Amino acid sequence: MIKIGNISLGDFPLLLAPMEDVSDPPFRALCKKYGADMMYTEFISSEGLIRDAVKSVQKLDIFEYERPIGIQIFGSEISSMRLATEVCEKANPDIIDINYGCPVKKVACKGAGAGILQDIPKMVEMTKEIVNSTNLPVTVKTRLGWDENSKYIVEAAERLQDVGIKAISIHGRTRAQMYKGEADWALISEVKNNPRMNIPVFGNGDIDSPQKALSYKNRFGIDGIMIGRASIGNPWFFNQVKYFMKTGKELSLPSLEERVKVVKEHLDFSIRWKGERVGIVEMRRHYANYFKGIPNFKPIRTLLVTLESTQELYSVLNNIVNQFELETV
């Protein structure tokens, strides 16, 4: 049984990665429904939280059915991160997660996210301050290092554990790699197999099929897998992985009818949570994946990402099953 603090996650948990503009409540609701064992919010700016910025505060919205859920924060100032932790605690999450992995220039080049991998002592000091400022379990999401010459993750993970984190999730790339090349899970495995490590170690990066998830579980011995891009427009992925791990067989793909039903659920929640305009716009990134593999679908997808009213969108969605029922894969 894998535990983060006192939180039980099963024998081999599947975690939904925190993804900016993706891991919001509407998307998380579907991932939970279809098998995610643990989820995180989108990453939230510590500066935004302590300044009460609307966009940052809205990301603190969590719901009882999502539990266990972690709120993820990022920032470059230790004092701001400590204050942001106190703000997060009031939202009553199960976990506080620290983002030391975001490679995006506007984050990393300010010393936040993966930027802190250039200063491991500061990373350790910041983590210690956060651990000491909350009664909640603290976890970390990070990368192997800043670049090819600074893959200090084995030592860094040990030091983070020593100051009190309860789990670590490692994306198997450096900041310099961004999302290119192949994730190095052998180095994640080194962290897990370090005899000094006694907290859960979760692997992240390139898990895009149930077969690969099982293969990496067996090859690298990690405690669980964090799933990111493979779940976008595909919340069923968690159950597909679990089914394959249990039976060695592939779970049948969702029918077109099921896909449309879930898209409507997602869209409806998105509009309720963000308002019609923003809710519609932010759904657009999901359509391509929800309807992936359906021949001749491009004109409909183009329509879905250009329509601006709920009524028009539902009209198109309601016609999809009849229009494509003979062509689904």
3 state SS of 100: strand
Out of 225, 247, 269, pick the residue that ends a domain.
247
The answer as to whether 102 is a domain residue is yes
50-89 tens-digit pLDDT: 998 888 888 989 999 999 999 999 999 999 999 999 999 9
What's 271's domain CATH number?
A: 1.10.1200.80
Out of 199, 221, 247, pick the residue that ends a domain.
247
The answer as to whether 90 is a domain residue is yes
Q: What pLDDT score does 325 carry?
A: 58
- 12 and 109 fall within a common domain: yes
- 221 and 287 fall within a common domain: no
- 217 and 272 fall within a common domain: no
Instruction: Quickly state the pLDDT bin for 32 (edges 50, 70, 90).
Output: very high
The structural domain count of the chain equals 2
The answer as to whether 195 is a domain residue is yes
**Alpha-carbon distances, residue 150 vs 80, 107, 135, 146, 162 (angstroms):** 27, 19, 32, 6, 21
The answer as to whether 30 is a domain residue is yes
The answer as to whether 79 is a domain residue is yes
Q: Which of 31, 88, 102, 109 is catalytic?
A: 102
Type of residue at 125? E
In 24-68, where do the E strands start and end? 38-40, 44-45
- 243 and 264 fall within a common domain: no
- 299 and 208 fall within a common domain: no
What's 193's domain CATH number?
A: 3.20.20.70
- 111 and 182 fall within a common domain: yes
| Pick from 11-25, 43-57, 66-80, 113-127: least confident | 43-57
Spatial contact of 38 and 68, defined as CB atoms under 8 Å apart: yes
The answer as to whether 296 is a domain residue is yes
- 73 and 220 fall within a common domain: yes
174-209 tens-digit pLDDT: 998 888 888 999 999 999 999 999 999 999 999 999
Q: What pLDDT score does 321 carry?
A: 81
Cis peptide before 68 (omega within 30 of 0): yes
Out of 230, 247, 264, pick the residue that ends a domain.
247
How far is the C-alpha of 68 from the C-alpha of 20, rounded, in Å?
19
Q: Residue 143 forms beta bridges with which residues? A: 171
Taking the whole predicted model, whether its pTM rises above 0.75 is answered as: yes
- 282 and 169 fall within a common domain: no
Q: What pLDDT score does 64 carry?
A: 94
Main-chain phi, psi angles of 201, to 5 degrees: -120, 115
In 101-194, where do the E strands start and end? 138-143, 167-171
- 209 and 290 fall within a common domain: no
Could you confirm whether 88 is annotated as catalytic? no
The answer as to whether 329 is a domain residue is no
The answer as to whether 299 is a domain residue is yes
- 277 and 234 fall within a common domain: no
282-327 tens-digit pLDDT: 899 899 899 988 888 889 999 999 999 999 999 999 988 877 754 4
- 260 and 243 fall within a common domain: no
- 63 and 147 fall within a common domain: yes
Q: Domain range spanning residue 115?
A: 3-247
